[in-house]
Structure 1
Amino acid sequence: MDKILKNISDILKFEKKFHNRKFVLNEEISFISPFENLKEEVLKCSSCPIYKTIKNKVFGTGPIDAKLMIIGEAPGVDEDREGLPFVGRAGEKLTKMLEYIGISRQDVFIANILKCRPPHNADPTPEQISNCFPFLKKQIQIIRPKIILTLGRYAASVVTGGSSLRMADYLNRDLTSIFFSIPVISTYHPAVLLHSKGEKLETIRKQMAKDLKRLKSRMDKIC
């Protein structure tokens, strides 16, 4: 994890290519231009060898003026096939999570810290995270959500700059993003609901319900 943080620190110091890039806009060009420019950069990226193994880059989807941004870990098989985030069984769980607190998925921007699916759905590596980090930062900079919901330990760690990969270290806490000081609430990745059973599943469900209620309460105050 220290390697991830060092790489991220280096990127923050030498981010001129991404953070300080000047986009020339005039009255005839819509605000979508920098966003489409960024998307093109993602689609052309070949920094990681895994780009050769995927079917589609998964940039993210949703309104660019979304008040809520949800950030997961990495695309899965279904997402790689469709080129969209959270379209598989975990995506169905996410939709139900949002409905639970009265939020339409259409009003949320959804992305992952990685834009390519790691082979065999492996955990993100420090190199992969570092290569995708500038893209995620630029997405957040353009969207400027009022609040971020992270799903899973890797998303929580990367977005908040935390050194821990223990999910428990990010639950029930008022967190802030490492860039732009945006409020962050973290919860489990919905895929956990598909792989857990018995008492463990019930405990996770209760925690996620608690996290979602906290999210809704914060949104009602700041949005």
Structure 2
Amino acid sequence: MTDTEEPIRHPDSDDRLVIEPGCSRCPALVESRTRISWGTGPRDASVLVVGEAPGAGDPDAETWKGGNHTGCAYTSRHSGRRVRRLMRELGYGDDCFFTNAAKCHPEGNRDPTDAELSNCRGHLETELGIVDPAVVVTTGKHATATLLAFEEIEQDGFLDSVCEPIECPTLGVTCLPILHPSYREVWLSRLGLSAEEYRERIAVHLP
């Protein structure tokens, strides 16, 4: 961050959209989580960002401890700030709702199981119904697969879908897959895209 760049705003805990307090649908996640990481942002946002699941986080961090400790999606020092900064650069810093496909941290940062994602899909559906976004930005293949499951669409190679909008008539939204923030630089080089070109490809499909 440069000296003149405005810091990324950390969401307030009171801003969380709590769907099911104390949710216990997934016993393994109940054991591994510290807090449930609920979505945050305007309830009338035109863009909703869906990640995979909160990471372990860092309870000793000054502010950006991660959703597993803050209870707010996309609040880790790395992925959380990176995605929030990207959306701000695209002009959606104050018009974006952030959430995860799985609301609880899986032990060892493993991928959520299909059953866990299925258990949490109802929470995501509720969020979509409340926020009613025009576009859902999915970060990575697992988040994308979770959204497309509502439409019974199966992916055939995630990279081919990056920055390519997918209409979801059942949900009434457009799905826009983007790269997972943790691996963005690696895959951008393989896709032959600069960071600016990548942002432009995303921006053209936002409302």
TM-score, normalisation: structure 2: 0.76
Within the alignment, does 1:52 sit opposite 2:31 as a pair? Answer: yes
Displacement of 1:169 in angstroms is 3.9
Displacement of 1:190 in angstroms is 0.6
- Structure 2 distance, partners of 1:179, 1:59, is 23
Structure 2 partner of 1:179: 170
* Percent of aligned pairs sharing the same letter: 25
Structure 2 partner of 1:94: 83
Q: 1:164 aligns with which of 139, 155, 175?
A: 155
- Structure 2 distance, partners of 1:124, 1:178, is 26
User: Does the CA contact (< 8 Å) of 2:19 and 2:126 recur in 1?
Assistant: no
Change (3 A) 1:160 1:51: same
Structure 1 partner of 2:5: none
What SS is found at the alignment partner of 2:54?
coil
Change (3 A) 1:128 1:119: same
* Moved segments of 4+, more than 4 Å: 207-211
Within the alignment, does 1:126 sit opposite 2:114 as a pair? Answer: yes
1:27-76 deviation line (CA, Å, top 9, x unaligned): xxxxxxxx98x7251x2211101112211001110010001100010011
Structure that is richer in helix per residue: 1
Change (3 A) 1:117 1:178: farther
Structure 1 partner of 2:143: 155
Q: 2:189 aligns with which of 202, 209, 220?
A: 202
Q: Which has the larger radius of gyration?
A: 1
Change (3 A) 1:116 1:159: same
- Structure 1 distance, partners of 2:75, 2:119, is 24
Segments of structure 1 that go 5 or more residues without pairing to the other structure are: 1-34
- Structure 2 distance, partners of 1:178, 1:123, is 27
What SS is found at the alignment partner of 1:183?
strand
User: Does the CA contact (< 8 Å) of 1:154 and 1:165 recur in 2?
Assistant: no
Structure 2 partner of 1:213: 200
- Structure 2 letter corresponding to 1:133: R
Segments of structure 2 that go 5 or more residues without pairing to the other structure are: 1-14, 58-66
Displacement of 1:207 in angstroms is 7.0
User: Does the CA contact (< 8 Å) of 2:52 and 2:100 recur in 1?
Assistant: yes
- Structure 2 distance, partners of 1:137, 1:208, is 31
Q: Give the aligned CA root-mean-square deviation in angstroms.
A: 2.5
Bigger shift: residues 184-193 or 161-170:
161-170
Displacement of 1:81 in angstroms is 1.3
TM-score, normalisation: structure 1: 0.71
Displacement of 1:135 in angstroms is 0.7
What are the residue-to-residue correspondences of 1:107-118 with 2, within 5 Å?
107-118=95-106
Displacement of 1:165 in angstroms is 6.8
- Structure 2 distance, partners of 1:112, 1:47, is 16
- Structure 1 distance, partners of 2:110, 2:156, is 15
